[in-house]
Chain A
Amino acid sequence: MIYSLCLILIGIGLYGILTKRNIVKIIIGFVIMEAGVHLLLILIGYRMQGEAPILQPGMKLSEFITRAVDPLPQALTLTSIVIGLGVLALMIAIAIRLYERYKTFDITEMRRLKG
C-alpha cells in the first residue's frame, strides 16, 4: 500500500526527533516528518489516471468531475509547506543563537533548566 510509504517517512522523522541529540539532526528529522505528512495529504487527493483539475471550455462538467484530481489537498499542502518554511526558519534561527551561546549543538549539554 502506497500510504504505508508516507507512514514510514513520518516514522523516520519521528525517530530522528526523539532519539537524536544534535539539534541539526532534530531539525532534519522534523523536515522529513513534515515531508511525509505532505505526501500523505497529496495522496489523499490523488486519483489513478486522473487529470489536472482545470475546467477547459468544451468539457462536460459531470465527466470532468469523475476524472479530475481533487485540487483541495494540493492547496492545503502548499499552505502547509509555507507554514513549514516559517517553522523551519525559526528553528534554524534559534539553533544558530543556541550555538552562539553554548558553543555546541548537543542538547544533552544544554541543561540550565531543571526541576
Chain B
Amino acid sequence: MNHLIPLFIAVPLGAAFFIPLVSRHVKWVPDVFGNLTMFSLAAMSFYTIGQSEVYHLGAWQTPIGIDLRLDGLSSLLLIAINVIGLAATLYSVAYMRIFTSKLRYYSLFLIMVTGMNGVVLTADLFNLYIFMEMAAIASYALVGFGCEHEELEASFKYLVLGSLATLFVLIGVALLYGMTGSLNMAQVATSMQSAAQAAQGTMAKPYIFALGLFICGFALKSALVPFHAWLPDAYQSAPAPISAMLSGVLTKTIGVYVLARLLFNVFGISQQLLLILQILGALSMVVGVLLAIGQWDMKRLFAYHSISQIGYVVLALGLGTPLGIIGGLYHLVNHSVFKSLLFLNAGAVEYSTGTRDLKRLGGLNQALPITGKTSLVASMSIAGIPPFNGFWSKLIIIIACVQAGYYWLAAWAVFVSLVTLASFLKVQKYAFLDAAKMALAKIQHTPFFMGLSMVVLAILCVVTSLAVLSGFDAPVLIAPAADVLIKGLITL
C-alpha cells in the first residue's frame, strides 16, 4: 500500500493545529512551519505521478470502511493544489505582515489545503461532502480575514451561497444513498448502471433529481454563469494569496473536478449532460469576459476573467471527446498557474502603491520590474500568445471543438480569447506601461519572498507549455488524467 495517500490529508491537518499550539510565544514558527509543510506536500505530490490504487483506511475492506482513491486525475489535481499552495504560502511570508494574525491565517490556510486534498483523494460521497465543507468553511473565514466592510460583506455573501450549495449536495448524497444503499462511488456507479439496465436505459426520477441538485450545487461552487454572483466580491476582497488559492485551485477542486468526477465516473455521461455542460461553459465564457471589460479594479477584473476561463474548461469537458477532455484538463492546470500569478501581481501592486484602481496606477514597469515582467508573462498566457501555456490549451480546445463538429463553439472560443486579449492589453497599458500618475519614488519595493513566488509561477507558465511536446493528444501528466474520465464509470 502506498502510505503517501493518507499523509496528504494528515500532514496539513496536523500542521494546522500544531502551529497555534507552539507559536503563541515564538513569532517565526507560523511562517517557517507553514512553508515547510507546503513544500513537503508539493514534493510528495510529485511522487504520486503514474500511480493508481485504492487505500482502505484502517484496513477495513470496501463496503464497510472508507476508501481513498488515487488515480491519474487525482494526482494531477494534487500537484496543482500543492504547488500553487506553496507559491501562495511563500508569498504570504511578506504579504500577510499587513494583517494582524499570521497564526490564524496559516492555520486556516492549511485546513483549506487539507480539505482540498481530501476532496481530490476521497472515494466516498459523504466524505466528499465533509472535505468540501472543510475547505469551504476555511475559505469563508479567509475571505473575511481583513474584517473590514467589504471583506465581511463579501464573506457573508459567499458563506450563504456556498452553504446553500453544500446543502444541495447533501440532499443529492442522501437521495443517492437512499436509492443505492451505498456511499462508495464505485458501488454507487455499479448499482446505478444495473438499475438503468433493468429499466431499459432510462434513469429513475430520484437519480435525475439528485443529478440536478449536484449540478446546481457544484455550479454554485465553481461559479458558472447563472450562479456566479458571489465570485467577484469574494475574490476582490480576499487577501491576495487567498484570491490566488480560491481562483487557482479551490473553485476547480470543489467545483469543476467534483462535477467532472461525478458526471463522468459515477453517473455516466450522456448526450443531455454534455449539452448542459456546453451551455454552462459557453455562457460563462462570454458573460465573464464581457463583464470584465468594464472593470477598473484589478482584482475584480481578474475575477471576471476567472469565470470566463472556467467556462473554457467546462465547455471543453462538455465536448465529451478525448481531445476535448485533454484540452479542458490542460486548461484547468494552466489557468491555475497564470491566474494565481495574476492575483499575486495585483497583491504586489496593492502592497506597493496602496491601490488597485487602474485609473490611478501607471508606469509601474520602472518602479516594480519583477511585478511588471511576471504580469506580462501571465497576461500573455491568459490571452493566448504562442510561447506560453494558455495558447496551447486554448488551441487544443478549439481544435477539439472543430473535430467534434461544433464550429460555432470554436468561433465563440476564438472571440472570447480576442476579448480577453483586449482586456489584458488594457491592464498592461494602464498599470504598467502608461506614464506615471503617482509619485513613483514613494513606492515600496517588492519584498524578496513575494518576488520569488511570482518568478516561480512565471517560470511554471513556460514549463507547463512544454507538456505538449509529447503530442497534442497525449500531453505529459494530462493524458493519464484524461484517461480516467474517458474510461467512464469507475469500478471497485
Partner of A110, one of B126, B147, B153, B294: B153
Question: Is the CB of B133 closer than 8 A to any CB of chain A?
Answer: yes
Complex alpha-carbon distance, A14 and B163, angstroms: 11
B171 touches A112 (CB 8 A): no
Complex alpha-carbon distance, A34 and B159, angstroms: 14
Complex alpha-carbon distance, A62 and B418, angstroms: 67
Complex alpha-carbon distance, A83 and B129, angstroms: 10
Q: List, in ascending order, chain A residues with CB within 8 A of B232's CB.
A: 113, 115
Residues of chain A at interface, number, CB under 8 A: 33
Complex alpha-carbon distance, A94 and B140, angstroms: 10
Question: Is the CB of B482 closer than 8 A to any CB of chain A?
Answer: no
With contacts A80-B170, A86-B137 known, is A98 near B163, CB below 8 A?
no
B155's closest neighbor in chain A, by CB? A94
Q: List, in ascending order, chain B residues with CB within 8 A of A73's CB.
A: 174, 177
A83's closest neighbor in chain B, by CB? B133
B137 touches A90 (CB 8 A): yes
Residues of chain B at interface, number, CB under 8 A: 36
B300 touches A115 (CB 8 A): yes
Tell me what chain B mostly uses at the interface: helix, strand, loop, or mixed: helix
CB under 8 Å from chain B, chain A span 31-84: 33-34, 37, 40-41, 44, 72-73, 76, 79-80, 83
Partner of A83, one of B130, B140, B153: B130
B153 touches A79 (CB 8 A): no
With contacts A83-B130, A87-B137, A113-B233 known, is A30 near B171, CB below 8 A?
no
B141's closest neighbor in chain A, by CB? A90
Q: List, in ascending order, chain B residues with CB within 8 A of A41's CB.
A: 170, 174
Complex alpha-carbon distance, A91 and B160, angstroms: 8
A34 touches B167 (CB 8 A): yes
Question: Is the CB of B195 closer than 8 A to any CB of chain A?
Answer: no
Question: Is the CB of B390 closer than 8 A to any CB of chain A?
Answer: no
Question: Is the CB of B449 closer than 8 A to any CB of chain A?
Answer: no
Q: List, in ascending order, chain A residues with CB within 8 A of B171's CB.
A: 10, 37, 40
B233 touches A76 (CB 8 A): no
CB under 8 Å from chain B, chain A span 90-108: 90-91, 94-95, 97-98, 101-102, 107
Complex alpha-carbon distance, A79 and B295, angstroms: 42
Nearest CB on A from B271, distance (A): 30
A98 touches B140 (CB 8 A): no
A33's closest neighbor in chain B, by CB? B167
Chain B: residues with CB nearer than 8 A to chain A?
A: 126, 129-130, 133, 137, 140-141, 144, 147-150, 152-156, 159-160, 163-164, 167, 170-171, 174, 177-178, 183, 232-233, 236-237, 294-295, 297, 300
- Beyond A30-B164, A91-B159, list 8 extra A-B contacts (CB 8 Å): A37-B170, A72-B183, A79-B130, A83-B130, A83-B133, A97-B147, A101-B149, A107-B156
A-B contact pairs, 15 of them (CB 8 A): A10-B171, A17-B160, A37-B170, A72-B177, A83-B130, A86-B137, A87-B163, A91-B159, A94-B144, A94-B159, A110-B149, A112-B149, A112-B153, A113-B233, A115-B295
Ranked nearest first, the 4 interchain pairs of A and B with the lowest CB-CB distance are: A44-B178, A113-B233, A41-B174, A110-B153
